[in-house]
Structure 1
């Protein structure tokens, strides 16, 4: 397999949304052509489909609170069992103009310099509504940013049994009562990491929960989402592929700390990141899972690489996106084939 790809070379730095920000690379020309032909073939059946207009420009939450730091702080206040415990800012980044975004919040204690972050990806569906993957805390600021994008949230994906990727699901879904919830197999039965009062906590969204890879996708998600599920003791993760955006979303299986973004950290943190193989490259932060289940791991990696509908990796933590994603993903899991 190929040598590790440098995250510094591949990373597009987070910044406020701009129309000139580079879009996600799309899959190869042959794949794009295939999708175009499929789109033409479907055109006769979709003449009545809604034409999605880009939302009118509206002030960002930061602009709305400009000159009023107390109001901005209030919009970020959120009590949580996950750090930071009292509140968090939300950064909105446009990954593909008018089509794909990342909303990122800190995931660290207030006094820590090392922030692994938590990233929710929002994709616009052909009907103008939204699909979100890996919910973040629904602060007033985050909800305002979602509203700014236009379109209603209709589908929420809980891609992992790791608590940070489902913990905010019930609260976010409370803001979008018409949204369907998609969970990895076994999550609703509590097969992930033990969590006190899990069944009671998830009880409010269970009636509208469906299972990824088990329940059939509705018409509006056909061709919009693909998943490959990895199941191991106390660990379940679905790699989520968004074919129309050429993106592979990873919850915990891939992790990159680019030197450009994390170079301010102390020598000890950098040394530790290099030791586990995530410094300036996409690395397997959950390597222990793959070491215990190498056959399942190889099958999962092979199934993802067999899909030609993605070439950019968007991890839910730390640095993202990683543009030359296929090379980085292959290098990440080289150890499974040695």
Structure 2
């Protein structure tokens, strides 16, 4: 459970750990294997993925940050670059795991070419030689580096990445913090950073990219902060953790070794097997076992302690192939401040006519409009009541119907997360609902 919590880009004291930028250094080793190409589902649009042809020393980055829950991989990080909009938007992805666990997901950096010819970088990832080379292949200078959240798995790479592009300006979401000691940004290697302000028309990219800030200091020991961006020309919405789309197949950057390790029937599977006998047979490298490993990873990431890891397929089917709010974010954050979240998504959907969404994890880009985005937040209607609903009736009806499907999480799988929420509330780590009708 602790492993899954710390591996996620979600709020909570286990994740807001001390980070020392000085521990992040690059080392040279031999590459273990090449990754087989995998396709995203039909609702995800992307063209021409590419990684460096060299590999080897280009992919290694010693990462021992995030004490006491460091995020892996510690040595080997393949970077996959995908062009989303020709000569305009690219996605860079790496694997993200908790320490030595078998639970991994992908972490994503989005790069946009501005009219000036420079690059705007959203949520930097580990600056391996391969990653930096793939950025330089775009043949444009990095002008701006943006940290859109407080979450440390995004924050730890801003300093090292910015040193590769010393002329770039750094822009950071306000109310940054760390746990158990609230340290200044300079401790993380982030210097001379400018603040991202809600709907700030003075930002140098405002004519091309707009921003709206969600800041909720009431949630727990530190505020939840996320900045949404809208690229006008491509009609693209960029978020960090607000919504996700779990693909049927694992992201290309997740290693075969990680998938097969997750497919093994270890202690977690034995504990979460609904009392069924767990066979202890060797894991053969095949498509079926890699898929099983991915399904188990997803359920642990979303639920911490799902009801049945031995047979994950049914629960995985309920959570994949649709735009949703992660159960952890929904339970520990958004349900605590429903009015603020509703105001944020209402401003996003009323002002921005997006046709695709790029989150920082799982699948992207996602073909989705304002209706699908509203539907993912359908659970807020129950928390707030009709007096807070401002959307037109037809839109509300459609979003309500879609929202019931998007917000359905298997009750058995939610038990561990609900118990954790109750414990964190009783311990004073996470607060009760501070607005709305229900807890």
- Length-normalised TM-score, structure 2: 0.58
Distance in 2 between the 1:198 and 1:115 partners? 27
Distance in 2 between the 1:195 and 1:123 partners? 35
1:76 corresponds in structure 2 to 59
The 3 A distance-change label for structure 1 pair 105 and 306 is same
Structure 1 SS opposite 2:49: coil
Deviations 1:4-57 (A, max 9, x none): xxx94412367525xxxxxxxxxxxxxxxxxxxxxxxxxxxxxxxxxxxxxxxx
Distance in 2 between the 1:198 and 1:270 partners? 32
Distance in 2 between the 1:260 and 1:300 partners? 31
Deviations 1:131-181 (A, max 9, x none): 000010110000000000111111011001111122100111111111111
Unaligned runs of at least 5 residues, structure 1: 1-6, 18-59, 66-71
Structure 2 SS opposite 1:227: strand
User: Does residue 226 of the first structure (1) align with residue 267 of the second (2)?
Assistant: no
Distance in 1 between the 2:171 and 2:185 partners? 18
- The 8 Å contact of residues 181 and 209 in structure 1, kept in 2 or not, is answered as yes
User: Does residue 12 of the first structure (1) align with residue 56 of the second (2)?
Assistant: no
2:248 corresponds in structure 1 to 259
1:213 positional shift = 2.8
User: Does residue 157 of the first structure (1) align with residue 142 of the second (2)?
Assistant: no
2:406 corresponds in structure 1 to none
1:209 positional shift = 2.6
The 3 A distance-change label for structure 1 pair 222 and 335 is same
Distance in 1 between the 2:100 and 2:193 partners? 38
2:83 corresponds in structure 1 to 94
The 3 A distance-change label for structure 1 pair 214 and 13 is closer
User: Does residue 168 of the first structure (1) align with residue 195 of the second (2)?
Assistant: no
Equivalent of 1:124 in 106, 113, 120: 113
Structure 1 SS opposite 2:62: coil
2:321 corresponds in structure 1 to 280
Equivalent of 1:148 in 137, 154, 158: 137
User: Does residue 329 of the first structure (1) align with residue 313 of the second (2)?
Assistant: no
The 3 A distance-change label for structure 1 pair 215 and 222 is closer
Deviations 1:258-300 (A, max 9, x none): 2244781356556665589742212111102110001001101
Q: Which moved more, 1:93-102 or 1:107-116?
A: 107-116
Q: Which moved more, 1:118-127 or 1:272-281?
A: 272-281
Distance in 2 between the 1:226 and 1:207 partners? 22
The 3 A distance-change label for structure 1 pair 280 and 195 is farther
2:52 corresponds in structure 1 to 61
The 3 A distance-change label for structure 1 pair 14 and 79 is farther
- The 8 Å contact of residues 89 and 111 in structure 2, kept in 1 or not, is answered as yes
Which is higher, the Rg of structure 1 or of structure 2? 2
Q: Which moved more, 1:196-205 or 1:165-174?
A: 196-205
2:168 corresponds in structure 1 to 179
- The 8 Å contact of residues 249 and 315 in structure 1, kept in 2 or not, is answered as yes
- The 8 Å contact of residues 131 and 153 in structure 1, kept in 2 or not, is answered as yes
- The 8 Å contact of residues 91 and 111 in structure 2, kept in 1 or not, is answered as yes
The 3 A distance-change label for structure 1 pair 212 and 167 is farther
User: Does residue 306 of the first structure (1) align with residue 350 of the second (2)?
Assistant: yes
Q: Which moved more, 1:129-138 or 1:230-239?
A: 230-239
Distance in 2 between the 1:325 and 1:202 partners? 39
How many residues align structurally?
277
- The 8 Å contact of residues 105 and 297 in structure 2, kept in 1 or not, is answered as no
RMSD: 2.7
- The 8 Å contact of residues 261 and 319 in structure 1, kept in 2 or not, is answered as no
Unaligned runs of at least 5 residues, structure 2: 1-39, 66-70, 252-289, 303-314, 383-439
Equivalent of 2:123 in 102, 125, 134: 134
- Length-normalised TM-score, structure 1: 0.74
1:316 corresponds in structure 2 to 360
Deviations 1:104-145 (A, max 9, x none): 000125876653211000000001100000010110000000
